[in-house]
Amino acid sequence: QRDKDADAQSKDDADAQESWLVIRQAWCVCVDAQGIIIHVGPLAEAGEIVNGAQKVIRLEKHQMLCPGFIDTHIHAPQYSYTGTATDKPLMSWLQDYTFPAEKALQDVEKAAEVYERIVARTLRCGTTTAMYFGTLHNASSQVLADTCFRLGQRALVGKVSMDRNGQQGYQEADTKSALQDAENFVRNLKQSQAGKAGMALPVLTPRFIPTCTPELLRGLGDLARQYDCNVQSHISESLDEVEFSAALHPGEGSDAILFDAAGLLRKGAVMAHGVHMSDADFALLKARGAAIAHCPLSNFFFAHGYLPVAKLLKQGVLMGLGTDVAGGYSPSMFNAMRSAVLASKAGAIQARTAHLDGDHIIDYRHAFFLATLGGAQALDIDDKVGKLQVGMQFDALILDADAPGTNIDVFPRDSIEDVFQKLCTLGDDRNVIRVFTPVLLQAYMQKRAKLETET
């Protein structure tokens, strides 16, 4: 794993790349009953712990243990139409597909069905943590957090706030009640089982500048400070969005400036896209400790541009990776990783005339970093997850490059790095053979114990 301390950043490229991946044979990771990692290192040094272990899982050849994927931007209610609605620019896409689909999930039973499916699906794809947009509705959005907890996924969940430019039946009644609902959502989630278990965090979620009055944004900024909450929104995503923002706020500056004026750019604030942000906007984000959720697949459809990821990584802007379902059609972080690499290639092709290639190209290692530790840093939970290290929670995947019926062929002379690159480039849910969070670990141990008493 790449360790993004100040040191690593000042190293030159080749050097930094060396330090990104640590893949060793005959290593082991030991975890206590609460799902906290208590040893990482050579098997030979773990002696006592391994001897006393309740359960030992030995990895087969071509299997690897890696940190769980962290999806920093995904819309749970939009899962019902994922894979369709790929034919419109952002503003009409929202009106024609998104708002009607989200409005329908006021019905808690319908919400429960969609949420059960997306959480099961993303877990199967290896997403152990997701930062979700819910809908306007408090009760349905709480169902999302409860579903994540029940199925064992770590989640940051937002009830969406929007008090202008929605549509009939899908907009808050007024700003005051919007703020009251947002506050109630935060309080209730913290008090819920999922919140108390530390598996779900509430997120203040102004949809984006065009659907939020300045009063609403300021009120949400105050709540973020008061409750020390994560924030999520969309920022400078596409040309039609940037135009709409500017028409509503002539001469007032960019989305970043408007969010900052409301106190919404802070540590743990995750702003999706940022394709049309200026260098000054990025500097502002960095100064505030806010992060970008890079959503490469949906950017291909909506953004009219690309994010210079390599440049931003060099500048130390916090960044994670997002699937942006359903603007992005795939809920899989494997696909998000690949799309990020492809988007960087597209950026480099376009920038060639400007000789900016070096600012653009990223490879599977950057993508893997963004999908794990980068995401944890963006969400401000890197003290808990994002890498396999003593003291961290055991959010982890067993990947198998040689699982039957997948897209990967492993050859005898493949190095361990080759196998890992093949997983990043060609892997999918069939290569994810086990998913752990502390909740899933407990379920796994109970199942094992039951099986063993039965036999």
Instruction: Please state whether beta strands 291-294 and 318-321 pair in parallel, antiparallel, or not at all (unpaired).
Output: parallel
How many of the chain's residues bind ligand GUN (CB under 6 A)? 12
φ/ψ of 176, rounded to 5, equals -60, -50
Q: Closest distance between ligand GUN and the C-beta of residue 344, in Å? A: 20
* Cα distance between residue 449 and residue 455, in whole Å: 10
Q: Closest distance between Fe ion and the C-beta of residue 387, in Å? A: 26
Nearer to ligand GUN, 94 or 307 (CB): 94
Residue 170 contacts ligand GUN per CB under 6 A: no
* Cα distance between residue 71 and residue 152, in whole Å: 15
Pick from 240, 236, 326, 311: nearest CA to 273: 236
Q: Closest distance between ligand GUN and the C-beta of residue 15, in Å? A: 37
Residue 324 contacts ligand GUN per CB under 6 A: yes
Write the binding mask 233 to 252 for ligand GUN: x where contact by CB under 6 A, - elsewhere: -x--x---------------
Nearer to ligand GUN, 94 or 378 (CB): 94
Residue with tokens 């505030």: 288
Among 30, 94, 229, 297, interactor with ligand GUN by CB under 6 A: 94
Q: Closest distance between ligand GUN and the C-beta of residue 257, in Å? A: 18
Among 202, 308, 327, 438, interactor with ligand GUN by CB under 6 A: 327
Nearer to ligand GUN, 152 or 327 (CB): 327
Task: Classify the phi-psi angles of 169: left when phi > 0, otherwise alpha if psi is within -120 to 50, otherwise beta.
Answer: left
Q: Closest distance between Fe ion and the C-beta of residue 334, in Å? A: 19
Nearer to ligand GUN, 195 or 375 (CB): 375
Pick from 233, 186, 237: nearest CA to 206: 233
The entry of ligand GUN, Fe ion, none that residue 98 binds, CB within 5 to 8 Å by partner kind: ligand GUN
- C-beta separation of 39 from 97 below 8 A: no
Q: Closest distance between ligand GUN and the C-beta of residue 138, in Å? A: 18
* Cα distance between residue 246 and residue 394, in whole Å: 45
Among 4, 39, 62, 207, interactor with ligand GUN by CB under 6 A: 207
Residue 338 contacts ligand GUN per CB under 6 A: no
Q: What is the DSSP letter of 128?
A: E
Classify the C-alpha dihedral 274-275-281-282 as positive or negative.
positive
Q: How far is CA 193 from CA 70, 76, 143, 394, 444, in A?
A: 22, 20, 12, 20, 20
Residue 98 contacts ligand GUN per CB under 6 A: yes
Stretch of 29-37, 57-65, 90-98, 371-379 lying at the interface with ligand GUN (CB under 6 A): 90-98
For residues 430, 321, 18 and 422, what is the CA-based torsion angle, rounded to 10 degrees? 20
Residue 339 contacts ligand GUN per CB under 6 A: no
The entry of ligand GUN, Fe ion, none that residue 146 binds, CB within 5 to 8 Å by partner kind: none
Strand ordering across the sheet containing 63-67: 63-67, 396-400, 432-436
Residue 75 contacts ligand GUN per CB under 6 A: yes
- C-beta separation of 358 from 307 below 8 A: no
The entry of Fe ion, ligand GUN, none that residue 94 binds, CB within 5 to 8 Å by partner kind: ligand GUN
Nearer to ligand GUN, 274 or 347 (CB): 274
Q: How long, in residues, is the chain?
A: 455
Q: Which residues contact 402 (CB under 8 A, 6 or more apart)?
A: 60, 61, 62, 63, 408, 410
Instruction: Please report, as residue ranges, which positions from 383 to 442 form the binding site for ligand GUN (by CB under 6 A).
Output: none
Which positions lie near Fe ion, rule CB under 5 A? 272, 324
Chain contacts with ligand GUN (rule: CB under 6 A): 75, 90, 94, 98, 207-208, 234, 237, 298, 302, 324, 327
